[in-house]
Structure 1
Amino acid sequence: MLKKNRMTACEKYRNERCRIMITSITSDMDGTLLNENQEISEANKQAILDAQKQGIEVIVATGRSYEEARHVLKDAGISCDIICVNGAEVRSKEGQIVHQAGIESSHAKQIAAALNETGIYFEVYTDKGTYTENYDMGIELIVDIFTTANPDVTEEQVRQAARERFENGHIRLVDDYGAIFNDDSQLVYKFLVFSFDDEQLKAANEKLKNIDGIAVSSSGKENLEVNSIEAQKGVALEKVLKEKGLSPEDGMAMGDNLNDLSMMKVVGRPVAMGNALAQIKEFCTYQTAANRDDGVAKAIREAIQSPVK
């Protein structure tokens, strides 16, 4: 059973109503839908398919690019809409781009200049792919994201998954980001910033505060994610649900990190993973098991009032 945090009578009524009328389920990927092996477990897969059979709209919302997200979902046999790159891009279940919210070229150059002043590492996500200027640091960044979501997994397992990210072509090595910012055929979606140095991360965050029109979040203990202010999971989710004629009030969203908070704020049933940050657990009315213990499946079955298998 899901853990319920303390709530007022009004909140209790609101969430009991949501239990009966849930029409959409939105799940983060890393640290949520994916287990410690970066896979969708059989239990999670079956719960999602059962929810879809009941007519419930299932949506995946991730900081990953479409290609990185699609690959995992396809392997599990799951077809659904995907909110990619923290909401910078929305794809239909057929893979068509439905929405885009990129960073203006002038703002992208400002962001890069501010980050370069601190000497911090960052990657650039665009509608044409993901880029890095430093292969070794790219590996370290993915290791950080994976280990944050799965602290009990061995370092070698995580590093292998990170290396596969490059080998599968999900990230490309370039000499200079400047060529990307000056390329009118590419739309910049996100900057993924990384450092083991807390002070360097704080310095970068402070510089970013001086730039208008952006949103800064995080998906790991040593990273920052920089998107357009219009590219947040919550903003994208509201658009998707509205177009489908569904109410966010009757939706459920599951996640574990700060880049999930915006979508949790718009739904009637926010659910924190057992491995979620304390800030996420404090906000959410409900808490499920950890990602390695099929927390998504348990949350779905509780929400649709089916027994946990």
Structure 2
Amino acid sequence: MNNDKNIKLIAADMDGTLLDNNAELSDYNAEILKALIKNGIEIIFATGRPFESVKKFKDAINNDNCSIICNGAAVADTNGKFLYTKSMDENSSKMIIDLFNKNKDGICLNIYSDGKYYISEEEFYFKKYIEREGIKNIIVGLEKIEVFEFVKVLFLGEHEKLLTLQENINKSIQNADAVFSHPEFLEIIPKGVNKANALKWLCDNKKIDYKNIMVFGDNYNDLDMINLAGIGVAVQNAVDEVKNNADYIALSHDKDGVGKFLKEFFEL
């Protein structure tokens, strides 16, 4: 293996980047990641998913490292214990519920709080999401929420409806940002929380210089990570802004773009 750029850690977004169109980790990508781990390079999944839907992918490559989850609102160890967390304040959390109640037509709201996953109702967009992420132990009904300090907030629905909701949230809630992770997925995260800040925290604790990390991404919630890294890589299917900020462009996620880039870069 050739590592003349001295890359010590690789952080990869999952959906739309590392995983294929069926939200699965291909055998090709898995084997490449396992080879890098054996060669001493740390692999970090950086995703909007909660830990429960990341674990099977960690297990598939025998990766006992931390994971950046919920778009950077938390860093979890290999057992799912939070080492770092930035939850939304109670007032902002309650304002999100109020905004949803005024704009709920055709929209589903998912909330991750206090280790529990709540949904407004089971409907088409939720079923589509749950199939993709494999989340279990769901609580139906927002009235059952006990702790109003949200770690992850996700609206699912048609893109045009979510655009209107995004505008309302960004105008009304000062301590939160609304960003798309998929045309039908609008994520709400505490102000200043993103994957890049979680990655900074992780690298600082591991004493790894940012110039010695490589990042893969495809969407707006990956942009800060791409700009942080010594080497930022966008997959071909990434949004233009991510591709314009990346150092390299790999093949698309459905063509094992991450694995093939890594194989060539490290001469595996």
Distance, in Å, in 1 between the alignment partners of 2:73 and 2:61 is 24
- Give aligned pairs, total: 263
**Structure 1 counterpart of 2:167, from 196, 206, 220:** 206
Once the two structures are superposed, residues 136-176 of structure 1 have per-residue CA deviations (whole angstroms, 9 ceiling, x without a partner) of 14435528xxxxxxxxxxxxxxxxx35x83xx615x1423x
Q: Relative to structure 1, is the Cα distance of residues 19 and 117 closer, same or farther in structure 2, using a 3 angstrom cutoff? A: farther
Once the two structures are superposed, residues 104-128 of structure 1 have per-residue CA deviations (whole angstroms, 9 ceiling, x without a partner) of 1111001221232222432112242
Say yes or no: does 1:121 pair with 2:121.
no
Match of 2:233 in 1: 271
Say yes or no: does 1:135 pair with 2:122.
yes
Preserved contact between residue 274 and residue 291 of structure 1 (Cα < 8 Å): yes
Say yes or no: does 1:111 pair with 2:96.
yes
Preserved contact between residue 180 and residue 186 of structure 2 (Cα < 8 Å): yes
Say yes or no: does 1:219 pair with 2:181.
yes
Distance, in Å, in 1 between the alignment partners of 2:120 and 2:109 is 8
Distance, in Å, in 1 between the alignment partners of 2:159 and 2:33 is 39
Higher relative contact order (CA 8 A, sep 6+): 1
Matched residue of 2:151: which SS? strand
Preserved contact between residue 24 and residue 57 of structure 1 (Cα < 8 Å): yes
Q: Relative to structure 1, is the Cα distance of residues 276 and 19 closer, same or farther in structure 2, using a 3 angstrom cutoff? A: farther
Preserved contact between residue 34 and residue 61 of structure 2 (Cα < 8 Å): no
Preserved contact between residue 176 and residue 190 of structure 2 (Cα < 8 Å): yes
Matched residue of 2:54: which SS? helix
Distance, in Å, in 2 between the alignment partners of 1:117 and 1:19 is 55
Matched residue of 2:196: which SS? helix
**Which structure has the greater CA radius of gyration?**
1
Preserved contact between residue 44 and residue 294 of structure 1 (Cα < 8 Å): yes
Say yes or no: does 1:44 pair with 2:11.
no
Match of 2:248 in 1: 286
Match of 1:169 in 2: 136
Letter in 1 for 2:239: L
Match of 1:234 in 2: 196
Preserved contact between residue 34 and residue 62 of structure 2 (Cα < 8 Å): no
Matched residue of 1:192: which SS? strand
Match of 2:144 in 1: 179
**Structure 2 counterpart of 1:252, from 208, 214, 228:** 214
Structure 2 spans left out of the alignment, 5+ residues? none
Distance, in Å, in 1 between the alignment partners of 2:4 and 2:223 is 20
Once the two structures are superposed, residues 259-283 of structure 1 have per-residue CA deviations (whole angstroms, 9 ceiling, x without a partner) of 1112112111110012212221112
Distance, in Å, in 2 between the alignment partners of 1:224 and 1:201 is 7
Q: Relative to structure 1, is the Cα distance of residues 45 and 219 closer, same or farther in structure 2, using a 3 angstrom cutoff? A: same
Distance, in Å, in 1 between the alignment partners of 2:155 and 2:124 is 10
Offset of 1:30 from its aligned partner?
A: 0.8
Distance, in Å, in 2 between the alignment partners of 1:102 and 1:302 is 39
Letter in 1 for 2:122: Y
Q: TM-score, normalized by length of structure 1?
A: 0.78
Offset of 1:131 from its aligned partner?
A: 1.5
Say yes or no: does 1:55 pair with 2:40.
yes
Query: What is the RMSD computed on CA atoms of the aligned residues?
Result: 2.2
Preserved contact between residue 249 and residue 267 of structure 1 (Cα < 8 Å): yes
Offset of 1:133 from its aligned partner?
A: 1.9
Offset of 1:75 from its aligned partner?
A: 3.7
Percentage of pairs with the same residue: 27
Once the two structures are superposed, residues 198-227 of structure 1 have per-residue CA deviations (whole angstroms, 9 ceiling, x without a partner) of 1x2222112111211212211111221001
Match of 1:26 in 2: 11
Offset of 1:65 from its aligned partner?
A: 0.5
Q: TM-score, normalized by length of structure 2?
A: 0.89
Structure 1 spans left out of the alignment, 5+ residues? 1-17, 144-160
Distance, in Å, in 1 between the alignment partners of 2:60 and 2:33 is 14
Distance, in Å, in 2 between the alignment partners of 1:241 and 1:297 is 23
Structure 1 stretch displaced more, 100-109 or 42-51: 42-51
Preserved contact between residue 62 and residue 85 of structure 1 (Cα < 8 Å): yes
